[in-house]
Amino acid sequence: MINFFKGHPTRELLPAKVIADAYKKILLDTDYLSYDDDPQNQHPLQYGTDPGNLEIRKTVALWVDKKFGIQGSDPNNINLTAGASYGVGNILASVTSPEITQRAFIVTPTYFLINSSFLDVGLEGKLTAIDETPDGKYSIDLDHLEKELSRYSEGLEPVHGEINIKPDPVRGSRKFYRFIMYLVPTFSNPGGLTYSLETRKKLLELARKYDLLLISDDVYEFLDYTGAKAPIARFNHLDRATVTSTYGNTISNATFSKIIAPGLRVGWQESATPKLVQQLAVTGSNRSGGTPNQLSTFVVAELIKSGKIDEIIETFKLVYSERVRVLKESIAKYLPKDTKVYGGEGGYFVWVVTPSANAYDAVAELAKRGVVLAGGEHFEVAGDTRNWGQHSVRLSVSYLTKEEIEEGIRIWGEVLK
């Protein structure tokens, strides 16, 4: 089976020995006695603090600053999570309300499992797709977005900095957003695009104007194959620099799944001000059990402090960049000449648009021959579809070897002919 659908690392790439050594050091070589009377830091085998240990959040903040070549990341703006998928669910549970939240906007094509997170919080029938526009002025269709924001704002209270903040009888005040938007702005999944700085600034402007929270899955930036010195600024970095409200309009939803190992289940959320992540840290499950993966957060912090995480990332980048090269060369060699390829500069995925009027048939035929493609139909926004499956597929470079990639594309070319 040659499976282009799987979006996780080849098993041989997972740093098992390095992770095992980190667990040993944490569990057997350190006693953490100083944490026994510290309300902001807890032992790795105890319930964690709501946002995660302060020392670990400091470690993550300094590492992020180094990666982006900036200063000023505040550990009090960070909430540790159990990965990006948990993070989205946690955000939506905290900041949406059936009465207040008018609409959720999702960039299309979108991550194929994200729809359920929105349906789980009662937003069924309230999802609007916003197209990626790789050849437009902006990376996504901001004109359509603003028209929809304006339409669903008619007759509502004018937006100001402190709108929709409601008392919570247990956890203090709580901010609800009128609109929510989900996107993957760097090496997007599945589209492979990186949104321009101009797009990001304009989108932040709209977010402030319409009480829109931008939930950006920031999971692939550090897997850059172009040699860039630093990634483009995240939305929360731009928001922090010119913040105009108590809670801000952005949340970076990041994870270590793509850059260490998904089984660790560790991620982090970073906002423009402490107020929003403080709210996210006291959702019901966090208040009950503390940060959702206390022990694994220690492992991540140890890998950061030892420098091992950067070695792991460099290994991933070397292997994946070679696979992307083979993938693009194979597409040029075996697929029709007018096939369009988007992405490949970083991350896991390449988005391929074929000239075939019905890609469904090719995908079905390939499955019979042991080649699995992720047909475009998987990447629709629920209730606002674009018929991506007619022409498009997503290909992953994280799982297959170079040889498997070339063979799979060769068979695909045969089927198309």
* pLDDT tens column, 106-124: 999 999 999 999 999 999 9
Residue 266 φ then ψ, to 5°: -130, 135
CB 243 within 8 A of CB 59: no
**Residue spans of beta strands (DSSP E) within 204-329:** 212-218, 250-255, 267-271
pLDDT at 194: 98
> CB within 8 A of 393, min separation 6: which ones?
4, 351, 352, 354, 359, 363, 373, 374, 375, 376
- Average confidence (pLDDT) over 200-213: 98
CB 181 within 8 A of CB 146: no
**Residue spans of beta strands (DSSP E) within 256-311:** 267-271
CB 128 within 8 A of CB 384: yes
**Residue spans of beta strands (DSSP E) within 114-266:** 127-131, 165-168, 172-175, 179-183, 212-218, 250-255
pLDDT at 258: 97
- Average confidence (pLDDT) over 204-210: 98
* CB-CB neighbours of 11 under 10 Å: 8
CB 26 within 8 A of CB 299: yes
- Where residue 227 falls (left for φ over 0; alpha for ψ -120 to 50; beta otherwise) is left
Calculate the CA 181 to chain-centre distance: 13
Name the burial class of residue 232, with classes exposed (0-12), middle (13-18) and buried (19+) by CB atoms within 10 angstroms of its CB.
Answer: middle
CB 372 within 8 A of CB 5: yes
- Average confidence (pLDDT) over 166-173: 90
Name the burial class of residue 128, with classes exposed (0-12), middle (13-18) and buried (19+) by CB atoms within 10 angstroms of its CB.
Answer: buried
Q: Assess whether pLDDT exceeds 80 at residue 161.
A: no
pLDDT at 404: 98
The CA-based angle 405-132-242, given to 5 degrees, is 120
pTM of the shown model: 0.97
Across 138-155, b (16+ Cβ under 10 Å) vs e yields bbbbbeebbebbeebbee
CA distance linking residue 282 with residue 285, whole number of Å = 8
State in Å, rounded, how far the first CA of the chain is from the last one: 21
CA distance linking residue 184 with residue 358, whole number of Å = 27
pLDDT at 214: 98
CB 299 within 8 A of CB 30: no
pLDDT at 275: 96
Q: Assess whether pLDDT exceeds 80 at residue 356.
A: no
Write the secondary structure of 21-67 as one string of H (helix), E (strand) and C (coil). Answer: HHHHHHHHCCCCHHHHHCCCCCCCCCCCCCCCCHHHHHHHHHHHHHH
- Eight-state DSSP code of residue 417: -
Render pLDDT for 38-96 as a digit per residue (tens, 0 to 9).
Answer: 999 999 999 999 999 999 999 999 999 999 999 989 999 999 999 999 999 999 999 99
CB 213 within 8 A of CB 47: no
For each of the domains in the chain, give its residue range(s) and CATH number, in order of start.
Answer: 2-12+310-416 (3.90.1150.10), 15-306 (3.40.640.10)
- Eight-state DSSP code of residue 97: -
The CB-based long-range contact list for 357-360 (8 Å cut-off, 24+ gap) reads 357/390, 357/391, 358/390, 359/389, 359/390, 359/391, 359/392, 359/393, 360/389, 360/390
Give percent helix, percent strand, percent coil of the chain, each to the nearest 5: 45, 15, 40
Which residue in 3, 2, 4 sits closest to 349, CA to CA?
A: 4
Render pLDDT for 238-276 as a digit per residue (tens, 0 to 9).
Answer: 999 999 899 999 999 999 999 999 999 999 999 999 999
CA distance linking residue 2 with residue 281, whole number of Å = 41
